[in-house]
Each structure stands twice: as C-alpha cells, then as structure tokens.
Amino acid sequence: MRLFKYIASCLAVAGSIVAATETKESAVHELNASNMHSWVDRQHLALVQFYAPWCQYCKALEPAYEKAASALEADGVPLAKVDCTKSAALCDQIGIKGFPTLKVVMDGKFGTYNGSRQETGIVSYMRKHKGPPVTKVQPAELSGFVKSDHVVVVGYFKSESSSELAVLREVAKELIEDFTFGFVADKSTAKKQKVSMPSIAIYTDYDDQVSVFSGKYTKENVRKFIRARSVPLLGELSSRTFGTYSKAGLPLGLVFYKTDESHDKLERELLPIAREFRDKVCLTFVDARVYWKHATVLDLKTQWPAFAIQDVTMRTKYPMSQNKEFSTKDVRRFVSDYTAGKVAPHYKSAVIPATNDGDVFKLVSKQFNEVVFDKSKDVLVLLHATWCIHCKRLMPVYEELGKLLKSNANIVIAQMEATLNDVPSNDPALEITGYPTVVLVRAIDNVIVPYHGDRSLNSFTEFLRAHAAHSVTAQNNDIQRISANGPGYMVVPPQIAGFTPKDARHVEL
C-alpha cells in the first residue's frame, strides 16, 4: 500500500511538472506574413530572428534567444522570430540570405544587428540601443557604472550643454555597439576621480590604469583615442581578439613568443615601450606555438622571440631583422624608427626570372610596380595560387590569351603567384579576396578595372576591347571559345562559422 502511494505521489509530481512545462508561454513572439508588418510598425525597439527549423545554428541560438527575451521583457524590448520555411516569400522580400539572421527594429524599420549570439550579449546590445547613447551618471552610481562593461567611457563635463559632451554624443552614436558611454556633470566627483573638467576617462576590466583624454575635442580625435585606449596594453592577440585590435586603428607591434617563461620576461621588459608608443603602435603578444604561420606571412623566420609591425589598414608589414639575437632594446629602436617614417614596408618576392619572353609575363613583387603601372601599356594581371584548382583550370585559357595578343605591343598579359609574392600596393582594388583575381591596370591613367566575366577566351578579349586604353588587335576567327569549368573562384577567407546560407536549405553543416 505504501509503495502504491509513493508511486502515485511521484506520478502526481511528474504530471504537475509536465503541465507546468506545457503551460509556460514563450517570451518570443511568433511572426508570419499576416502579422509581421503590423507588429513591426508598432515597435520602438525590438529584435527579430529569421530562422529555419532544420538549421543547426538556429537550434544552438534558441536557448540564449529565449532567455534574452525573458530578460528584456522588463525593459519593454520584445524579441520575435519568423520561420522562413513557412513564410518564405516574406523572408525573400526582406532579403534574408541565410539562417539565423537577426535584425534590429528601430521605430518600425529594420536595421543590422551587430551583437553576439549569447544571452548576455543580446541583452547588453539591446539595452544600449534603448536609451540615449551617453547616459547621465549620478555620483553615487559611478563606481558601479564603470564596472558595467569591458570598456566604459565616462565624460566629465561642467554642464549638460557643453560642446565637449556634444562631441562625445556624436562619437557614442558610432561606437555604442562596442562600448558603454556615460557622463558626469559634478566637479567634486571629477576631483575624486583625479580628472580635470572637461575630460574623458576610459575604464577597462583588464587594466587598473585609467586613460584620460584632454586634447582638442573633435570627433576624429575622440574616436581615435577611445579606439586606441580600449585595447589592453601588451595584451594577447589571437583569432578571437584580432577584430578588436584591428578596430583600434593602430599598427600592431607583434611580439611572438614560444614559452610562458619567455612571455613573462618579455612583458616586464616591453611594458615601458608599450606605454611610450601606445598612441602610435599597439604592442601585443602572439603565441608562436599556435600562430607560427602568421609569422611566416610577415616573412619572419620560425625562431623566437621575434617582432614585426603590421599595419592592417594599409596592408603593409615591417619585420624586424633576425640576423642577431633578439633584444628589447632593438624593439624600441625599431618602433621608434618606424614611427619616425624611417622603416620601409617589406614585400615578399620571388626572384626576378632570368628570362621572361613567354606569352604570359611572369611577375614578381620586386618588379610589380614597374611593370603594372607602366602608363604606356595596358596590363592585365592574374593573381593566382598554385594550390587553387580554379586557377589551374583557368591557366590554359590565360596562356591562350597571351599567345593571341602577343603581337599587341602596348598590351601585357601578366600573372603572379600571390602566395609567393606580395602585392606592393595598398589600393583596395588590388586587395586579394579570392583566387583567381584578375584586374586590368589601364594605360595612360592607371585606373584599375576588376574583371568579372566568365573564364572564356572570348570574354577576356571583349573585356580588354571595352576597357583598355589601346586598341586590341585579334582576329575573331582566332578566338576559340576555350572555357574553364566550375565556378571559377575560391573565396578567401572561408565562410563565417555560425551561418547557414539560405541556398543550403536542409543541409546540416
């Protein structure tokens, strides 16, 4: 009898749990073609997820999205979702390219969501967009406010109508997704914080030292200061932090180390150098055990420690010589010379060929500018990689093109192995985002025209006739329609993880 009562009580408890689970309502609103537009029109601030039930990234996002929706209910910021397998036409109309796609709704209009997919990231992102870009902080709230985010920017101004605060507000509108902004209009609080008025202070959770801006208040100056001082002094550069350091807008001084002991010793010796040049070069550590290949990209030998400066914006690199034993004194001298404009950028280059009289001119980095930017000639350049299958398929067509146009004295058909040779130019039109990359550098004005045609001989000749400064001489009956098979392009870098292209529906990655 007792056993029966025990089993009955267990079943009753289990039943109540199931019932509670079944009756619990989701905090996420379900939208479709019939109700979405009217719902969106009513929202001042909201977030909408476009998903497909079969997408594994959507499944992974679901728990965090549900928790974020519950957390944001008290803030009056609703979260919603649209099943694109049931509302395909609606998702196509909005321009959804893959799953999951998150879009912010602000005053009834869709915008891009640039936050993380974690619960805390979603909540933080949406709360930042709910209020003003710069929050007024009361003196009693300051100690908690400066610890509310990884990087907190606080302005100390004499009044809410100050011109300096106006500048900070403009900058905050641009950077609000990355940082938390506030201001204090209290002289005694500024004095306690040991800052003058007006000034801007940056508080971080990785450094006890507070950076203070007291220069000329322009948007550019304030933006640069915040970006530069928001990254750790001698922090660790990795695949996770590279984006943050890139946004700092400063050249990176990369210190490659092999052991933890070496790291600690270098940190003690390099810290004064990092502080001295922190507004000009951002010194960071790189673990050579993990990222040794990046050192080779910078043309460093795999001997540690090693040092190089990389300007991500200008796409230039400056490896420090490894011909003698590594010294932090040499690092300081190298950084000082670099900031003074005394160090020339380094470009990896193969040896210039002894002979180069083939149908296709074989370029190397050392002679790139001399040949490609010769204003007397139109130069078609193929940038390829030996391992790229699409480049291999294209090469017979490209060789045929060189043979066909060999008699055109003012037209050069050239190719360069881009993994063995750097492109010695920071022109965005010459940036390699995939292989093969083909561009025409026009004669007379050196305008760079990207090639976007198919991989046929006819397409290449028609492109040159349309864009070259000099006339193209080739008999139409000589143009064989040789074409490379396949898509003809290999994207670099690879697809971002956590996103399923819409065209890949029902394909689990």
Taking the alpha carbons at both ends of the chain, their separation in whole angstroms is: 54
For residue 448, give both structure tokens. 């760079």
Catalytic residue among 10, 55, 282, 391: 55
DSSP 179-236: -EEEEE--HHHHHHTT--SSEEEEEESS-SSPEEE-S---HHHHHHHHHHHTSPTTEE
Active site residue 84: no
| SS3 assignment, position 379 | strand
**79-83 and 45-51 beta bridge pairing:** parallel
Active site residue 388: no
CA 372/CA 317 separation, integer angstroms:
21
| SS3 assignment, position 328 | helix
Task: Report the alpha-carbon angle 66-69-70, nearest 5.
Answer: 90
378-384 sheet: strands from edge to edge? 361-362, 411-417, 378-384, 437-441, 448-450
Catalytic residue among 58, 84, 91, 391: 58
DSSP 78-108: -EEEEETTTSHHHHHHHT--EESEEEEEETT
Q: Dihedral sign, CA of 269, 270, 271, 277? A: positive
For residue 311, give both structure tokens. 């300007």
Task: Report the alpha-carbon angle 243-435-301, nearest 5.
Answer: 60
Residues that are catalytic: 55, 58
